[in-house]
Chain A
């Protein structure tokens, strides 16, 4: 049987993770996160594609077109509601579509986004859709999401 494919998508701003060190989450780089995710996916026999982009057009291409090739999505939207140009509707419309196809979607954040005053980052809101949420476990936010995705994929 073909391995299940998981897209792990990191949104704009996540190329540099140095600020999480100051917040107490240890020394992290995107490459460290990628390696840890690859390790965990391997344990469960999942094939992973780990991506990051700062470009809005590319992000929507990944989420709206490329997602066809995947069975599940783990997404760190970072601070989409910062003053950045990233349009929230890219996330909400894509995620709505993906959950309608019954593909598991889990939103992850390295830090606890509610401890930062809450103004910068808000959870993705796609009413009535099924989206998991993990925030504040550091690199383990991804780890837990992968475990949850694996469980969900095996149930479907």
Chain B
């Protein structure tokens, strides 16, 4: 299975940015774990991060043309603002999961709105950096279910 893990703005600061909320693990370490977990299950994981909304939109469009099987997206702050990412995800018909390290619904009210939640299959939040590897670990089973759904 081909999997894109797409990360949005400020995620590159993981480990140093508000560690009481986001934990001490760095993005590099998370990326390594995701790729390793993927290899174990026979998946090819491409792990990406950008601070630019347009670049994230282009990656989602690439996922469409390259027929990527699943997208795991932590759009970070763009979750609460980006109609462009909403539209791009809507056009992508593979399996898609919205992921957050913290639980946005327990934080400031401006984080309670997600433009992404309604166009993805599932949401995983508040499980810390471990959320990534848990999702990759389950993707084989999840994809099976998703194929049955179609």
- Which A residues form the contact surface with B (CB < 8 A)? 24-26, 106, 112, 114-115, 118, 123-138, 140-141, 143-144, 147-148, 151
Interface core residue of B114, B117, B126, B135 (most chain A CB under 10 Å): B126
- Asked if B127 is at the interface (CB within 8 A of a chain A CB), the reply is yes
CA distance A150 to B106 in the complex (A): 22
Known pairs A140-B145, A144-B138, A147-B134; A132 contacts B117 (CB<8 A): no
* Majority secondary structure of chain A interface residues (helix, strand, loop or mixed): loop
CA distance A84 to B123 in the complex (A): 25
Chain A proximity of B79: nearest CB distance (Å): 12
23 A-B residue contacts at CB 8 Å? Answer: A25-B145, A25-B149, A112-B121, A112-B123, A114-B123, A118-B118, A125-B105, A127-B107, A129-B106, A131-B103, A131-B126, A132-B103, A133-B124, A134-B123, A134-B124, A134-B127, A136-B123, A138-B145, A140-B142, A140-B145, A143-B141, A147-B137, A147-B138
CA distance A80 to B103 in the complex (A): 19
CA distance A115 to B42 in the complex (A): 31
Q: Is the CB of B134 within 8 A of A136?
A: no
- Asked if B120 is at the interface (CB within 8 A of a chain A CB), the reply is yes
- Which B residues form the contact surface with A (CB < 8 A)? 103, 105-107, 114, 117-118, 120-127, 130-131, 134-135, 137-138, 141-142, 145, 148-149
CA distance A141 to B124 in the complex (A): 9
* Majority secondary structure of chain B interface residues (helix, strand, loop or mixed): helix
Chain A proximity of B91: nearest CB distance (Å): 17
> What 10 A-B pairs have minimum CB-CB distances, sorted nearest first?
A136-B122, A114-B117, A132-B126, A24-B149, A123-B105, A133-B125, A148-B127, A137-B122, A132-B127, A135-B123
CA distance A126 to B124 in the complex (A): 17
Q: Is the CB of A133 within 8 A of B145?
A: no
Known pairs A112-B117, A140-B138; A133 contacts B122 (CB<8 A): no
Q: Is the CB of B126 within 8 A of A133?
A: yes
Q: Is the CB of B106 within 8 A of A126?
A: yes
CA distance A26 to B148 in the complex (A): 8
